[in-house]
């Protein structure tokens, strides 16, 4: 028994275990590395001007032939949105279930809140940007000129409010499933990460083929959701729960 009167045989509270894992530098390094690498790739894509090049493979002066196709509109757009709400409802239902581990229950509600933040953040940014969708461009039958979205303040003559991709958030908001499970169930976290990335890629392709978004619009949405989740993974427990040093003293 330690000088604190705590038996080594007694397991640490779940809150303490969460502190230890949440504060591990390796998670922070991984999150930062992914964010920086993603940012570099996005900047390289922007500099290369590949958005319009890729969109031209799907559209012409007559518009985008996949715009109202059953696969892209009914399945991947409308169906994808419905799937996102189903997953969100499942998360809420799981959080309502009674659980002896109060820390785990708090964590589930916390990540639901983070998912909602992602869902709200991207549409909010969209309302503030002047970048129009590909189907609004004159070369695809619209009225706008192509202006890269990073040229802030330069209007393209179209309706704007198209950057970043809102529909992709129906998948990428659930990066919270990866961040929420990676400490306790790494195998499940990896499975969730793969599923989210696959769904996000499918939703992004559908909007690309329809002329609703450029490739970078989807990638920026994914990057924003990753950064929000990475910040959320580091912030709360260091302020709400005992420090890692205190956890070590309890386990001595």
- H/E element holding 63? strand 63-64
Q: What are phi and psi of 143, to 5 degrees?
A: -130, -15
Nearest to 220 by CA among 43, 32, 49: 43
The pLDDT tens digits for 45-80 are: 999 999 999 999 999 999 999 999 999 999 999 999
Q: What are phi and psi of 59, to 5 degrees?
A: -125, 160
The pLDDT tens digits for 83-102 are: 999 999 999 998 888 765 67
1 in any annotated domain: no
The pLDDT of residue 155 is 87
Q: Residue 7 pLDDT more than 90?
A: no
Report the C-alpha gap between 88 and 96 in whole angstroms.
Answer: 13
Residue with tokens 């205190």: 246
9 in any annotated domain: no
Nearest to 170 by CA among 135, 136, 204: 204
Nearest to 131 by CA among 213, 12, 44, 231: 213
The pLDDT tens digits for 151-203 are: 877 889 999 999 999 999 999 999 999 999 988 889 999 999 999 999 999 99
The pLDDT of residue 118 is 96
Q: How many structural domains does the chain have?
A: 1
Question: pLDDT-derived band of residue 236, with 50, 70 and 90 as boundaries?
Answer: low
3 in any annotated domain: no
162: number of Cβ within 10 Å = 25
Report the C-alpha gap between 142 and 138 in whole angstroms.
Answer: 4
62 in any annotated domain: yes
**Which of 2-6, 29-33, 59-63, 163-167 is the least confident region?**
2-6
213 in any annotated domain: yes
59-60/63-64 β-pairing: antiparallel
Q: Residue 210 pLDDT more than 60?
A: yes
118 in any annotated domain: yes
94 in any annotated domain: yes
The pLDDT of residue 230 is 95
Nearest to 130 by CA among 96, 87, 88, 159: 159
Give the range of the structural domain holding residue 104, as residue numbers without chain letter.
14-251
Helix, strand and coil percent figures for the chain, each rounded to 5: 65, 0, 30
95 in any annotated domain: yes
């Amino acid at each position: 028994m330690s000088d604190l009167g705590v038996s080594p045989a007694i397991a640490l509270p779940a809150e303490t275990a969460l502190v230890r894992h949440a504060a591990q530098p390796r998670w922070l390094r991984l999150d930062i590395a992914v964010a920086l690498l993603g940012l570099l790739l996005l900047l390289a894509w922007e500099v290369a001007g590949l958005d319009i090049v890729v969109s031209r493979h799907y559209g012409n002066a007559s518009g985008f032939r996949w715009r109202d196709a059953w696969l892209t509109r009914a399945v991947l757009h409308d169906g994808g949105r419905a799937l996102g709400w189903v997953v969100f409802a499942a998360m809420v239902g799981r959080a309502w279930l009674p659980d002896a581990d109060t820390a785990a229950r708090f964590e589930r509600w916390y990540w639901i809140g983070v998912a909602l933040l992602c869902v709200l953040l991207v549409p909010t940014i969209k309302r503030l940007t002047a970048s129009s969708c590909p189907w609004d461009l004159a070369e695809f039958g619209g009225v706008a000129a192509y202006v890269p979205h990073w040229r802030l303040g330069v209007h393209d003559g179209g309706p704007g409010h198209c950057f970043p991709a809102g529909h992709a958030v129906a998948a990428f908001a659930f990066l919270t499933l990866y961040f929420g499970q990676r400490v306790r169930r790494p195998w499940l976290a990896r499975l969730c990460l793969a599923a989210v990335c696959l769904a996000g890629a499918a939703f992004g392709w559908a909007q690309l083929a329809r002329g609703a978004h450029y490739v970078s619009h989807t990638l920026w949405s994914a990057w924003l959701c990753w950064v929000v989740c990475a910040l959320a993974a580091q912030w709360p427990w260091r302020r709400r729960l005992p420090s890692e040093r205190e956890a070590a003293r309890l386990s001595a």
